[in-house]
Structure 1
């Protein structure tokens, strides 16, 4: 039996050894553990369950901001974390305290009794137990991977489901085609439960619509039941209830207008109005999504030569397109990328749209990450799409060299949430 005084980091490290695979999509182990814990997933505050390839986290952040504008207490479960695991579990608006996290992890570790369980499954169970034990008005659950067999997909009666844009990613787990991946995402749909559907390619939308029809799940779909678009220096949202004029989202990038539309559609389906929509777009915070870094040692190095330092965690082809569109819409300034990626990603697909908006790429490996793509392979991928590329030993070396060689430039660290998390942690 583990000691109750263990720090959460020590417990989480032990949990990593309970299953040979980091990812093993199945609900059997999860349902067994939850049953032993008394099925806390059946007693959560009203659940909003969010799947999709891109925009899940930003959409969740905006929904949370809207609900909190209305004075609601909101639990939220997201992944992965950037700097600390505690970021994944937010209790009624506040990150889970260390003592509570350690106690719950100890309890679950004891109940699991050394049986095979993945890290994500056990920590998702921890979130459910924490959510059950603290009062709140809503629970926001972000799918970890896919949907149908994701550990979060054990809530039988959510209040609302959401599917953000679906694109090609995680093909080794979800399938090689857009319809196959969309079918996995649509696995979160539940009988009779409304689903907000973000902007989709037709091939994905057809799959979602077919499953919704089988489950009598009403769809509230982008481009059909609601519309969101830029309008001058702001944005507009329109549905059958009317039109709302809003400022641009505080989260940067043209794609965030679509995410804001999804969030607002969700809020309005729940009965909220214009004030909550305004809160959603103006109060949301979500690190490493085209985030300008403003303090810390890396910023100091960049600032010595008048450079801006930015950070983004996008990592697939759609993410590359979103970053490129964001850069194209920003004030003109030479942009140089510092990029580290995982070896499970479509690197050329991510970099191809960035070649049109960046002057160069400096490739780095992601420290302490087993699945990092070696810097030389990232450099080669960049060169293959026409992006001048070099290598650096680490992010600090890359920032220093680029700042010296390109005074006044915009430096963007990108390619992986894992890299982004390390940058946030090391940059203070």
Structure 2
């Protein structure tokens, strides 16, 4: 389906792709990819309240983005074709439209800074992917994710003023969750990415299970510690996509159908007598933060958030309120729309939302018609989580945006996932 943005390598040329690149350049782009994943997401200051302020961390992240943009310009010969052919053209279209909406932003300086950061990081990605190669690129991403998790545990255990997040769930109750180097939900997302990506690296023994299993266990334990229910669910979705060939065979599907045929009739009989009412209610209460089942039956209040967001989008349907300004528009409703497409519509209008939706549709089609297990699980994490959370775009691009755009370019650049082999003498 995808148009190839650069000439396809012959099989014997692929292992030597990185060795033909300048060592300093490959080291630089590897460090920048690592910094985008780890540094751009890490918060070493802790919870200082919801008020936005400019501080040293923001300047440091902006410097990383500036270096990414400068490096991307120097390597533009490796990148430009990726941005003018499908599906990479969708990235160009989205960024161009965001630029059109900037003059209408409710906070123009904030939107411009976020926009420049997004463009600078995006400009680097196609070149970085081709220089490092698919295997090394994902290995660098995995290293950044793992560093974030390890750093979060250090913050949680050693520096509780940074690592513990206190969430007001009722007027009188405060829930303490592991936040580590970020919000618990962001830590949960990074844990989901880590678990799925190391499962990918262990698949086919591309990385030793002595590394893979501890990394996956750390990801799962962190998911439980930060109590991000969304992240727990999307981790399962990502793993199911990675291992779908093994799990969804004809035999397993038939076995599942037979089991359903046997179990469904008695379940309906018991349910009809009210035998499950207390079980369902008790389970929902235990899964909720506040102890109320209503929290989950309304998707933790998301139904109200979505209704409010749609109303605000209807007020400014063409250009929205400015890139990354949902934090100001949705101030009374958790600072974002809890849906990636609604969030983009709110920020940049319906046109921006439709471009993002086009990316979503491309991924759904590509995962089915041209499966690439090395990236499909990561994409599934974002797609599943993006239905009920605004986990994609951020003021300073980090792992989510990098993974989303990289996956969009993956097939187009014909990325390979085989570890590079030493050149023959």
Range of TM-score over shorter length: under 0.3
Larger Rg: 2
Greater RCO structure (CA 8 Å; 6+ sep)? 2
Q: When you count helix as a share of all residues, which structure comes out higher?
A: 2
Task: Provide the TM-score with structure 2 as the length reference.
Answer: 0.26
